Amino acid sequence: MGILDEDVARVRASTDIVGLISQYTQLKRVGQRWTGLCPFHAEKTPSFSVNDSEGLYHCFGCKASGDAITFVREIEHLDFVGAVELLAARTGITLRYSDREEHEGRRRQARLLELVDRAADWYHERLRTSPDAGAARRYLRDRGFDADEVARYRLGWAPDDWDQLVRSLGAKAEDLEAAGLGFTNRAGRLQDFFRARILFPIDDERGRPIGFGGRKLPGTEGAKYQNSRDNVLYNKSKALYGLDRSKAGIVQANEVVVCEGYTDVIGFERAGVDRAVATCGTALTEDHLRSLKRFSRRVVLAYDADEAGQAAAERVYAWEQVHEISVFVVDLPPGADPDELARSEPERLRSAVTDARPFLSFRVERVMGAADLDSPEGRARAADATLAVVAEHPDALVRDQYVMDLADRCRVPADQMRGRLEQVRRSPRPAPTDGRSSRRREEPEAAPQPTHRLPELPDGVESEALRLRIHHPEVATGVLDASMFRHPTAVAAYRALDRWGSPAEVVDHVPPEVAETVARLAVEPLEVDPTDVLARFVSEVGRRTLGELEAEARSSSDPLAFVEVVSWLKVTLDHMRRPNVDVETLTELVAFIRAETDHSGSGPPPSDTDEEWSEPGSGPSDTGELG
Ligand code: ZN
């Protein structure tokens, strides 16, 4: 299931790859290709090449390579379907999906997304211009929002009325309800979902609004925050406010700051920390982490200090182990949230992030900070209290590091501390205080697919022959085949070219190392005569075949049976050494080799790896979108 292959091909063919990449880096024409500074790694001299006619790019520095779809996936951090959808929107192509239900589902989703987008515009316009939004505008001004920010974050105002939005959008009631914009009240009438609130649009990763966070004005009734309810577009345990704007900053700094409020994210941005996201009215979930760890595995919690300190330690350590992330905590001044600190002391907010401590260290220091280390009794109590915290960490080596440090600070012999720690660890754990059930471990994720990476294909006759196949398929086809290659990457690449046709098609279907090889060879033209390449390659295969025949003859009960064929092959190979090989000899040799490899079956094993290669768009979507 996914986007129809022909539509993917249409998107690829209609995308101007030079124009696309030029939005991210400046490209200059050099001969047949375009080059520029690589948008994927920092460099001073260009090692990034684009082949316009094949629609491929390759970086000789960091080895990033692929076609327009790969480029968008990598640079925008999207999955295959997401990247194709983005390019389709860019080129004005309407996509069809292979499954009727999915097709309908996508169409409905597109319709609902458009509705939410129109609602965001409508609310934003109300906030900017409507007389009834005066109090909201004043409130935002007091909180430091200027007109630019109101526009950038597309803030809105939901009027204190029944159904102004749903009436003015003029869509089907069913769609308005499904998109979370309206609901049917007891009288059976459709009513606006949000009323008398300042609205923060919550965008998906691609920057499309999927829901809203609504804040009431001070001194009015109701809960401080009201968010969209879960629906087909919006899921609060997956949604992360600000991720669309912050993902570039997160990748660049290799760190994501997680906070609790929309205004905290904005506060961080104002203070120059462009890598913050907020959960939307819920604690951090495993789904959030799955989404975040694609961008960075260093997760910095910027919650209120008490809350962060009490975050369920077991869950944090389980996440660290299962998801291979590291959790840090920002030490904020008591009672301060990032939003306020950004306005009063932006410098302090920045350094608090820089000084974030590992989760365990943060908790230990909170205990130590409250301890009386001047008296022997105080130090003993501190030792006990910190050991209880250290005991929760699953890694013995980590525990021991902390024990040694604490022994020193509490003036207790290290061995005695260790003995005490073991006691604590053996004794039953106190029930968790946050009321959540105490699960030892989160369910581990499905085991990753076994990855046997193919080795890199070195420059040589095989890479040249492959380049020939890419740039002059008319010369190679019918002469070469995959079984003539030895290097596993070359074999895989050749098979893929046979199966998928164009190099651009290949790179979307094969493992990354094969895709990289194909892209690398495709961006550099073949600079020698195709016949020479063919002759060198075929001679090499011929010499190999000769060696095999001679070995076979030695171990055969009838070595004389090989004499004729071996001597013919030797003479022919001698012929091949001459300059300007005649095509007839070449053709004869090829025919001979093909017959040999066919009947002896000594070529590389048949491809059973094709099945393992993923089809584009199949497999679970990892964008956190509904399917
Ligand atoms: Zn690069």
CATH classification at residue 208: 3.90.980.10
How many other CB atoms sit within 10 Å of the CB of residue 48?
Answer: 25
**Domains: count for the chain:** 5
- Is there a domain that residue 396 lies in? yes
CA distance 344 to 85: 42
Q: Are residues 474 and 581 in the same domain?
A: yes
How many A from CA of 24 to the centre of ligand 1? 13
pLDDT at residue 201, as a whole number: 98
- pTM, rounded to two decimals: 0.61
Domain C-terminal end among 339, 355, 371: 355
How many A from CA of 46 to the centre of ligand 1? 9
CA distance 426 to 438: 17
Domain C-terminal end among 33, 68, 91: 91
How many A from CA of 289 to the centre of ligand 1? 27
Q: At what angle do helices 583-600 and 563-577 cross, to 10 degrees?
A: 140
DSSP state of 479: T
CA-CA-CA-CA torsion for 175, 180, 186, 188, nearest 10 degrees? Answer: -10
- The residues pairing with 215 across neighbouring beta strands, listed in sequence order, are 198, 225
Q: Are residues 107 and 45 in the same domain?
A: no
User: Range of 587's domain?
Assistant: 461-609
- Is there a domain that residue 624 lies in? no
Q: Are residues 302 and 382 in the same domain?
A: no
- Is there a domain that residue 625 lies in? no
pLDDT at residue 460, as a whole number: 87
How many A from CA of 36 to the centre of ligand 1? 10
Q: Are residues 86 and 110 in the same domain?
A: no
How many A from CA of 98 to the centre of ligand 1? 35
- Is there a domain that residue 451 lies in? no
How many A from CA of 38 to the centre of ligand 1? 5
Phi first, then psi: what are they for 202, rounded to 5°?
Answer: -100, 120
Q: Are residues 287 and 367 in the same domain?
A: no
**CA atoms within 13 Å, Cβ hemisphere of 340:** 8
- Is there a domain that residue 435 lies in? no
Domain of residue 382, CATH code: 1.20.50
Q: Are residues 45 and 184 in the same domain?
A: no
How many A from CA of 78 to the centre of ligand 1? 19
How many A from CA of 251 to the centre of ligand 1? 15
How many A from CA of 49 to the centre of ligand 1? 10
pLDDT at residue 310, as a whole number: 60
Domain of residue 50, CATH code: 3.90.580.10
pLDDT along the chain (627 residues), means of 10: 86 93 90 90 90 91 92 86 90 86 84 96 97 96 93 96 94 93 89 96 93 93 87 91 93 92 94 94 85 90 69 77 88 84 93 93 88 89 91 89 93 91 76 38 35 78 92 85 89 89 84 88 85 89 90 84 86 82 83 74 41 40 37
How many A from CA of 386 to the centre of ligand 1? 46
Q: Are residues 207 and 288 in the same domain?
A: no
Q: SS3 of 505, please?
A: helix
* Contact yes or no for 390/360 (Cβ under 8 A): yes
How many A from CA of 66 to the centre of ligand 1? 12
